[in-house]
Amino acid sequence: MDHLLSCAWEKATPDKCCLKNGMNDIKYVVELLEEKNVSIVSRRKHSYIMYQGIESEYLYVLKEGVVKLSSILRNGREFNITYVCEPDFVSLLEEEQVDGVSALFNVRIESDEATFYRVPRKVFWEWIDKDIKLFRIVDNFYRKRLVMILEALQKMTVNGKKGAVCACLYNFIECFGRQKAEGILIDFTVTNEDIAGFCGISTRTSVNRILRELREEKIIDIVQHKIMICDKYSLQNYIS
């Protein structure tokens, strides 16, 4: 597994300018969708816009809300990859191959409601054929998402259970973190089962134990069913 991750990482890692240009890229896509006056649709919490990689005739770009991207590997194991909480492609990926490892993707709505730009997949690919900038944006999207998948796999293999949970909590800061007097509030309700899915942990019991330990160490607290990061630097110390 380590050899697989190392080889795939070298192939997939985009250069730094690609990572920095992500917001400009999606801004270009959103402006294009607005210009084309594509449909905007809403979906309710826990509904799917992609399930086990089954291709829809439509492509979806998140407009508002929160969705969760997860993957089903060939062996049937599911792991959570990331939350998407700002405009981005969410159903562009279908089935991906990483050195012979097949991955099927789920996209599930996690906020009470989410809205999406919806465009027929065939039409979108016609746009790509005529727009070199859009082609490069989509190519860059695939590379960045592959990096994200590899990072998720690495968390499950190099950090151990507690380190993986700490890495998961730390990553939540970017998407949901709100600075408070007591620390950084993860302003989104995340279940222990979901945390387990991000960390490759089979049951939420282990997550319960680890969160309890982190509370006893005063690294985190629970405030109205949400996680408060009280000591970000101690949290980092558990991450490889």
Residues 130 and 169 in one domain: no
Residue 12: the pLDDT is: 41
Q: 217: helix, coil or strand?
A: coil
CA distances from 61 to 45, 58, 115, 118, 138 (A): 17, 10, 9, 7, 12
Residues 36 and 111 in one domain: yes
Residues 172 and 152 in one domain: no
Q: What is the CATH number of the domain that holds 209?
A: 1.10.10.10
Residues 22 and 126 in one domain: yes
Residue 89: the pLDDT is: 92
Residues 20 and 136 in one domain: yes
Residues 90 and 106 in one domain: yes
Q: Are 176 and 186 in contact (CB under 8 A)?
A: yes
Q: 41: helix, coil or strand?
A: strand
Structural Rg of the chain based on CA atoms: 18
Residue 87: the pLDDT is: 94
How many residues appear in the chain?
240
For residues 8 and 3, what is the distance between their CA atoms, to the nearest angstrom? 8
Residues 148 and 227 in one domain: no
Residue 104: the pLDDT is: 75
Residues 99 and 209 in one domain: no
Residues 100 and 130 in one domain: yes
Domain of residue 146, residue span: 2-157
For residues 109 and 221, what is the distance between their CA atoms, to the nearest angstrom? 26
Q: Using the 3D structure, point to which of 157, 177, 192 is the last residue of a domain.
A: 157
Residue 27: the pLDDT is: 94
Q: Using the 3D structure, point to which of 157, 184, 200 is the last residue of a domain.
A: 157
Residues 86 and 64 in one domain: yes
Residues 170 and 84 in one domain: no
Q: What is the pLDDT along the chain (240 residues), one digit of tens a residue?
A: 444 334 443 444 433 333 333 668 999 999 999 999 999 999 999 999 988 767 678 999 999 999 999 887 666 777 888 999 999 999 876 554 444 444 578 999 999 999 999 999 999 999 999 999 999 999 998 888 888 778 777 766 777 899 999 999 999 998 899 999 999 999 999 999 999 989 888 888 999 999 999 999 999 999 999 999 999 999 999 987
Residue 73: the pLDDT is: 67
Q: Using the 3D structure, point to which of 157, 184, 202 is the last residue of a domain.
A: 157
Burial of residue 22 (CB within 10 Å: 0-12, 13-18, 19+) is middle
Alpha helices in the chain (DSSP H): 2-12, 16-20, 22-36, 121-130, 132-158, 160-176, 192-199, 204-216, 232-237
The token pair that represents 71 in the structure block: 């993957």
Residues 26 and 81 in one domain: yes
Per-residue pLDDT tens over the stretch 57-78: 899 999 999 999 988 766 677 7
Provide the number of structural domains found in the chain: 2
